[in-house]
């Protein structure tokens, strides 16, 4: 049956598959909810978004996504509080950012009302899929790709915008060991590093595999020029604590403007933690580790929120971070997740309630 709500066309599943999912064993991004939102760009305009049963999509072999990689995405989460209210965290930041990414890949921007109305209608329909165990959430993946045909190396004339959702457990990476990269780069000046483009990830996989073979979990990306500055941790922004100062690299062409990153900066300032947004040299991190002033290093991003680093490797040597009580990582993670799960006051106005 098809209904129209908020100018979104809705086609519901006949039978939910939710009973087949073991909510005690979710891991990350493995199961998908009953529905997805799909919107097509044709003849120079976005058509009306549709919510349809989650299903495979069929594409022509010449679709430009396969050949020229025009594709960008977002990552966000929906949270349920103890009263079953549904919340998003700064969703308009994701909405704006996907359009910043699209623009860089010569793809059409997606209207704000389609994004928000489509997302809300989808969450309303699949609200039972939002898990409630401590630290779990519904991971939301909006993405756009070139669906138009032809081998000509030029921007596609057709695109698909999709939102798919996956119930996910709390994300614990364990003791993360990272390798400071000296050869490869994930981005360059004038490049697409600031965009959440699929190809950025494809380019990261091989150097990361090499690091994994050496016994590390992730790569710390450095600048493409001299590999002198640390810039990101895998697909997360990076923070370093030297003595009691929290330092993070400034965003640029090469560094993604993470929503978790900027939320951490605001919360840290609110906690009266000294914050510096400036370039961080590999040299100062190594020296700080050697003289004992390096207290913490962590990655920041939507999936893990904060992922503390236990060890970093550089030029054949491993440097261990100290284990400290009341770390900035744990204080900041608690403050941010308490806002996300509606457990604490939201003085910044970041929480966004979804009427279900």
Ligand X SMILES: *Cc1c(COP(=O)(O)O)cnc(C)c1O
Question: Footprint of ligand X on this chain (CB under 6 A)?
Answer: 75, 196, 232, 235-237, 256, 258-261, 301-302
φ, ψ of residue 55 to 5 degrees: the values are -160, 160
CB of 78 to ligand X, least distance (A): 14
φ, ψ of residue 46 to 5 degrees: the values are -80, 130
Query: Taken in order 192, 197, 201, 202, is the CA torsion positive or negative?
Result: negative
Judged by beta carbon, residue 261 or residue 333, the one nearer ligand X is 261
Report CA-CA distances (Å) from 51 to 114, 119, 164. Answer: 12, 9, 10
Judged by beta carbon, residue 33 or residue 237, the one nearer ligand X is 237
Residue 296 token pair = 């913490």
Residue 347 token pair = 């003085």
CB of 257 to ligand X, least distance (A): 8
Judged by beta carbon, residue 160 or residue 196, the one nearer ligand X is 196
CB of 72 to ligand X, least distance (A): 10
CB of 310 to ligand X, least distance (A): 20
Judged by beta carbon, residue 51 or residue 305, the one nearer ligand X is 305
CB of 235 to ligand X, least distance (A): 4
119 in Cβ contact with 161 (< 8 Å):
no
Q: What is the DSSP secondary structure assignment for residue 197, as one 8-state letter? A: B
- Residue 229 CB: number of other CB atoms within 10 A? 19
Judged by beta carbon, residue 51 or residue 339, the one nearer ligand X is 339
Judged by beta carbon, residue 50 or residue 196, the one nearer ligand X is 196
3-state secondary structure of 143: strand
CB of 298 to ligand X, least distance (A): 12
CB of 125 to ligand X, least distance (A): 24
Alpha helix positions (H), 189-258:
198-213
CB of 214 to ligand X, least distance (A): 22
70 in Cβ contact with 152 (< 8 Å):
no
Judged by beta carbon, residue 259 or residue 285, the one nearer ligand X is 259
Report CA-CA distances (Å) from 123 to 11, 34, 164. Answer: 14, 11, 10
Spatial distance between the Cα atoms of 211 and 216, rounded to a whole number of angstroms:
5
Report CA-CA distances (Å) from 7 to 189, 350, 355. Answer: 41, 26, 17
Judged by beta carbon, residue 101 or residue 136, the one nearer ligand X is 101
CB of 9 to ligand X, least distance (A): 30
Report CA-CA distances (Å) from 259 to 95, 263, 323, 350. Answer: 12, 6, 27, 11
């Amino acid at each position: 049956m098809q209904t129209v709500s908020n100018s979104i066309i809705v086609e519901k599943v006949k039978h939910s598959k939710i009973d087949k999912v073991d909510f005690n064993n979710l891991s990350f991004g493995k199961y998908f909810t009953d529905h997805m939102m799909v919107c097509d760009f044709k003849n120079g305009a976005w058509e009306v978004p549709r919510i349809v049963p989650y299903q495979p999509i069929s594409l022509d072999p010449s679709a430009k996504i396969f050949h020229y990689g025009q594709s960008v995405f977002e990552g966000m989460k929906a949270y349920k509080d103890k009263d079953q209210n549904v919340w998003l965290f700064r969703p308009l930041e994701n909405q704006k950012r996907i359009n910043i990414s699209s623009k860089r890949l010569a793809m059409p921007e997606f209207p704000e009302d389609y994004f928000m109305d489509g997302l809300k209608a989808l969450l309303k329909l699949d609200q039972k899929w939002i898990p409630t165990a401590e630290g779990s959430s519904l991971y939301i993946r909006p993405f756009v790709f070139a669906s138009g045909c032809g081998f000509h190396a030029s921007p596609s004339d057709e695109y698909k915008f999709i939102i798919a959702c996956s119930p996910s457990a709390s994300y614990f990476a364990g003791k993360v060991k990272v390798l400071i990269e000296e050869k490869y780069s994930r981005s360059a000046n004038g490049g697409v590093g600031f965009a959440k483009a699929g190809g950025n990830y494809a380019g990261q996989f091989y150097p990361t595999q090499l690091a994994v073979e050496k016994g590390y979990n992730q790569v710390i990306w450095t600048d493409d020029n001299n590999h002198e500055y640390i810039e990101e941790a895998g697909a997360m922004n990076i923070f370093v604590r030297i003595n009691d100062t929290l330092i993070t690299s400034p965003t640029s062409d090469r560094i993604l403007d993470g929503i978790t990153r900027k939320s951490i900066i605001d919360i840290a300032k609110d906690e009266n933690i000294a914050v510096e947004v400036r370039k961080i040299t590999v040299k100062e991190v190594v020296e700080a580790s050697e003289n004992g002033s390096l207290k913490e290093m962590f990655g920041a991003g939507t999936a893990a929120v904060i992922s503390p680093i236990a060890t970093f490797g550089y030029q054949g040597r491993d440097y261990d971070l100290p284990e400290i009580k009341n770390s900035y990582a744990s204080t900041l993670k608690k403050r941010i997740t308490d806002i996300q799960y509606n457990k604490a006051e939201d003085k910044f106005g970041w929480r966004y309630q979804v009427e279900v």
